[in-house]
Amino acid sequence: MKKKINTRLVGIAILAVVATVISITIVYYSFFEGQIRSDLEISAKLLKDTHYFESVNVDTDTIDLSTDIDELRVTWIGADGTVLYDNDARPEELTNHANRPEIQEAFEKGSGESVRRSDTMNMNTFYYAILLDNGTVLRVATEAENIQSVFLTALPIILAIILVILVVCVILSHMLTRQLIAPIENMAQNIEDIGTNPPYRELVPFANMIRQQHADILSAAKARQDFTANVSHELKTPLTAISGYAELIQNHMVDEAQHDHFITEIRKNAERLLSLINDIIRLSELDRNEEEQFFDVVDLYDVVGECMEGLGIAADKRNITLSFEGEHCSIRANREMIRELTDNLVQNAIRYNNEGGHVWVKVRGGVSPTLTVRDDGIGIPEHEQERIFQRFYRVDKSRSRETGGTGLGLAIVKHIVEIHDAKIEVHSTVGEGTEMKVTY
Ligand code: ADP
């Protein structure tokens, strides 16, 4: 960045110098040219006013202007264009001048001028011709450097100025960039410190974004750490139990009567391990492939209905009455996920219910179709209602474990709800029951 600013500043300076030099040269040259023309005009008029060339029978041999006015070439042209006198050459050697633009103009309008490139490199010849009263034309001419030559003459000076400016610019831009960048570097070093305000107003959104991302990364890392710790703990409990029971059996410390009980415990814990691992795998799948889910138009009523068929046995086991009603309605969804969501909600409604309790499942259509799972079970205390969607959060730990809960069901539900851009609401009263409502 520093290098970029430096080179750009130097570039701008060079550009400014070159542009200034070019425009000054052009302006200066046009003044210079104007001055030459006016000098020539004055000289021509002065010579005319002497009426010297109009005196009859002027003996051209006696005219000698060459010595006095060396810079000025004077040519006298007759009415037919023949050169009568030239202070720089013998008139006989010169061709007819009638077709020269300044001469033609002088014959027509009384005076004429023109500029021609000289034989000498980089020089221009300026001509001014004036018609004399006797019909002849007097022309004065002088040579001057052309604009390229003026520019080339000035080039070494220009280059020297550019060099000086370049050095000054490099020093200045170094100082300037250091001054500009120092606060940014300082901010970068203290990005976490909210007390350090961004040095420039333009950097506020950038700093806020970086800070937000930083906070998100930290909280994601913390969540991952917590999750790993929780997973390890959750896996350890059933594994320790399995290992302990197996050891007791191996050491013949379990009598015949308790044998079956121990084997059942081993199996229960193994099943718990399996459901835990299944839920963990499912969560990490949902974490990974959010964009790759296959969405289809599905009938919510049909999908929930299919799911309910499989839940009858679980409800019967706890003597719970399941009821399902509603209307057909279409939503854009992943069929498998909707089954999973329904299964989790209804399983919970059965699990956290009382013997002989009820579970009511309803599907409503309309602009935003809804799925409601209501039970008259134990309920969830108000202050815990938000936390139940966190991974491994359980209100009633022992009941959850006893009934095969993993503490991950509602975390999976929340994920599915988010993937479908849906919304989930909890209404619950301890001792009266719970209602979970998903709106698509
Ligand atoms: P679990 O596998 O333990 O059921 P969930 O993530 O599905 O885990 O639910 C988290 C916790 O929320 C449960 O442990 C339970 O305490 C509470 N919960 C969920 N659904 C209900 C419900 N219908 N009635 C009462 N408590 C519930």
352 CA → ligand 1 middle, Å = 7
The alpha carbon of 426 and the centre of ligand 1 are apart by a number of angstroms equal to: 11
Ligand 1 in reach of 413 Cβ (< 6 A): no
- Asked whether the predicted pLDDT for residue 371 surpasses 90, the reply is yes
For ligand 1, whether the C-beta of 370 sits within 6 Å is no
DSSP 385: T
Residue 115 has a pLDDT of: 93
Provide the Cα torsion 291, 420, 211, 209; round to 10°: 80
CA of 395 to the centre of ligand 1 (A): 7
**pLDDT of the residue at 281:** 92
Residue 64's pLDDT is 65
pLDDT tens, residue by residue, 73-95: 899 999 999 998 888 888 888 89
> Cα(240)–Cα(364) distance, rounded to whole angstroms?
46
Residue of the CA atom closest to atom 14 of ligand 1 = 394
Segment 189-213 mean pLDDT? 81
Give the mean pLDDT of 149-170. Answer: 83
Residue 327: strand, helix, or coil: coil
What's the 429 CA to ligand 1 centre distance in angstroms? 14
Among 141, 417, 114, 199, which residue's Cα sits nearest to residue 290? 417
- pLDDT single digits (tens) 171-192: 888 888 888 888 888 888 877 7
- Please provide the average confidence, as pLDDT, over all residues in the chain: 88
Is residue 285 predicted with pLDDT exceeding 80? yes
| Per-residue model confidence as pLDDT tens digits over 123-140 | 889 999 999 998 999 999
- What is the DSSP secondary structure assignment for residue 242, as one 8-state letter? H
251-277 pLDDT tens trace: 988 888 888 999 999 999 999 999 999
292 pLDDT band, cuts 50/70/90, is low
Q: Whose Cα sits closest to atom 12 in ligand 1? A: 388
The amino acid at 314: A
pLDDT tier at 120, thresholds 50, 70, 90: low
Q: Which pair of structure tokens corresponds to residue 381?
A: 């205390």
With a 6 A CB cut-off, is 391 part of the ligand 1 pocket?
A: no
Q: 433 in ligand 1 pocket by Cβ < 6 Å?
A: no
Task: Tell whether the model's pLDDT for residue 119 goes beyond 90.
Answer: no
Lowest mean pLDDT among 14-28, 58-72, 88-102, 327-341: 58-72
pLDDT (0 to 100) of residue 59: 66
The three state secondary structure string of 4-18 is HHHHHHHHHHHHHHH
Give the C-alpha separation, 242 to 286, whole Å: 30
Tell me 28's DSSP state.
Answer: H
- The model's pLDDT over 214-238, given as tens digits with 9 standing for 90+, comes to 888 999 899 889 989 999 999 999 9
- What band does 14 get if pLDDT is binned at 50, 70 and 90? confident
Euclidean distance between CA atoms 253 and 256, whole angstroms: 10
pLDDT band at 301 (very low <50, low <70, confident <90, very high): very high
Residue 118 vs residue 435, higher pLDDT: 435
pLDDT for 334:
92
In the 3-class helix/strand/coil scheme, how is 179-233 assigned residue by residue?
HHHHHHHHHHHCCCCCCCCCCCHHHHHHHHHHHHHHHHHHHHHHHHHHHHHHHHH
Q: Using pLDDT thresholds of 50, 70 and 90, give the confidence band for residue 148.
A: confident
Taking the centre of ligand 1 as the mean of its atom positions, its distance from the CA of residue 348, in whole angstroms, is: 6
Residue 379: partners with Cβ closer than 8 Å, 6 or more residues away: 428, 429, 430, 431, 432, 433, 434
DSSP state of 379: -
Question: Given this model, what pLDDT does residue 291 score?
Answer: 56
Looking at residues 239-256, what average pLDDT do you find?
92
In the predicted structure, residue 163 carries a pLDDT above the cut 60: yes
pLDDT-derived band of residue 438, with 50, 70 and 90 as boundaries? Answer: very high
The CA radius of gyration of the chain, in Å to the nearest whole number, is: 52
Q: Which of 280, 174, 196, 201 is nearest to 234 (CA)?
A: 280
Atom of ligand 1 nearest to the CA of 389: 6
pTM value?
A: 0.61
What's the confidence (pLDDT) of residue 106?
95
| Cβ contacts of 178 within 8 Å, gap of 6 or more | 2
Distance, CA of 394 to CA of 413 (rounded, Å): 15
Confidence at residue 157, expressed as pLDDT on a 0 to 100 scale:
85
The strand ranges marked E within 9-110 are 73-77, 83-86
